[in-house]
Structure 1
């Protein structure tokens, strides 16, 4: 038994030497890392120091970057406003054409061309905004992933710092590590680690060889007090009170270690649940985003369909208006033709009447002339008769004389 213990002790010394060398190497690496961080911090401090000569150049660069950001933002806003203004002018021009232009085939072609131009401008603007939105969503996802990576790096750095602090056993670092443990680790784990720190680590303040012999006998008797006498044979230099005190420590160690395992198990389950919850949330958000995109696309399609329907209705209304105008023109033409025909008929009737009147007048005039001729002949005959009578009387008078 003593030979076994001595061989175990020798192996323990070799392990301790190897452990000390590893700790020294880790300590040197930690000091180099700390020195590098200190140097970088000093450089950054010098750069941001108000009394530093580089502060002026840094302010100039900062102002230039701010101006560049404002210019980029202003140019983007100006571009969007220009596109919207162009679309607005096209719509106003289209409204003006619909309001004041006469319905002609050329006007229909021009109206169709203007509608297509407005629709293309709106579609191009929507497509550009959709691409910008998708790019922003992509950049947001990239930023979220990068933040997750950085958070993971910080967590790993914190855990690495806590391990390094345990090796170096620096008081100032220990305080920060304790705070980190209290903020990030379960209470059972903190309690177990604090218990180990306060009671001498995993061996409970005993030598590794004594602790292993204690465990061997304790496990052999399954924790019953009958192991104490046998343990005294293995543990030379240890009293019964020491063994009972170590037994009490080990009982508490088992309880706390079990609590730590259960706590870590619960923590892992919680992490798994959170991971699954985050995955579900991510899937849900992706689904919602997809549904939103589909809804937007459907809304755009519906809006485009309504726009086409409205344009078709406008064209149909124009066609109907044109047909009505054509019918009115035809009715007016027919009315004019009827009026013209009536006028011609009336003129014909007037001419016929005038012809009859003229013929009647001519006949009356002819009859009058004939009557006047007869009267004239009668008067002439009467005058001749009168002259003959007078001549006869004169002859008679002359003869009587």
Structure 2
């Protein structure tokens, strides 16, 4: 099986791919490979554990089932060969993919990217991708086949488990199959009809209620036999449901089933006759019992009359004592009520006196609070009047201060206005002098000198003074300038 060192040195390439999606696909492929290898290792450990826990071969040999053990060994050998062949095939495919990746890596070491190299790398990558896709498709189909086989095996195992459970249930729930000890210790019921004993003897002799078959096969037989109403055409379909049974065994089971139905019918008729006789005996017994009950009832009625008379006397005596007790209780309740009313009147007087005292205290407290409130109101009024006088005094002082500030600001504004006017006059005088000087200059006559345009400037003369004999060798014929942008041309 391949391990995690399948693609070593993939990050040592000197030339990186130009597309980031290739790196992303490569990382995703690495993750898928790692996940697959983890699952493979988990399955391998599970197989080893199951092989250690498999005691079936030893048990078969211990019980002498050599044919079953041989079949299991042959099946295991075939499966082992198939697994080894599949492992070898998978290793070959992984080796092919590994060699393709190594070849791709060797092409990337110390080379220059050229069209031929890129085409060659594309071919190698396409071959590797095709190999990986083929391996994935093969593994997917293999997994699908294994899943189908797993589902089939699960269904078969479930069916066999149900069959085994039905066997165990049939053995547990069958009350008609007594053991040897019970048969010896319990004698047969001599009161049972002969038909019932005949059916039980027939079932014991022929292998129980299923005729020696297991419950699953017997139910399948009954299903087909009932479907065809016992016609001979059912045997062909029953052979499909019961592949381990021969036609002769099916016919024998059919004869046994018909015999059992006949005996069951006879048993049913005998039980009905037995029930009729038992009903007749029960009616006779019930009639005699009713006569005895009638005599007992008359005797009990006489006793009940006497007991009723005594009970009535006891009731009258109890009623008299109850009436005396009620009168005594009523007198006690009246006395308690009078005492309670007196106590209630006393409590009301005390409560009324308490309320009167509380009202007097409340009036005194309210009068004190009223006087205190009036005193506080008077003090508050005086305080407000003082604050009002202080506020009016501050207002007068503030009005005088504002008036002084306004007069001072007015003097300052007038001084600033005069200063501004003075500066404006000086500026106008200066502008007038400048305009007169410019006018004098503009009126002068300037003579035209065309040679001035080609005459060297003072800067050029100073530059030529510093150049020696090996200098420029004459006037510059051509001077290079920077190009003028199109958007500035013509400005």
- The TM tier, using the shorter chain, reads 0.3 to 0.5
Higher RCO structure (Cα 8 Å, ≥6 apart): 1
Normalized per residue, which structure has more helix?
1
TM-score of the two chains, using structure 1 as the length reference: 0.32
TM-score of the two chains, using structure 2 as the length reference: 0.27
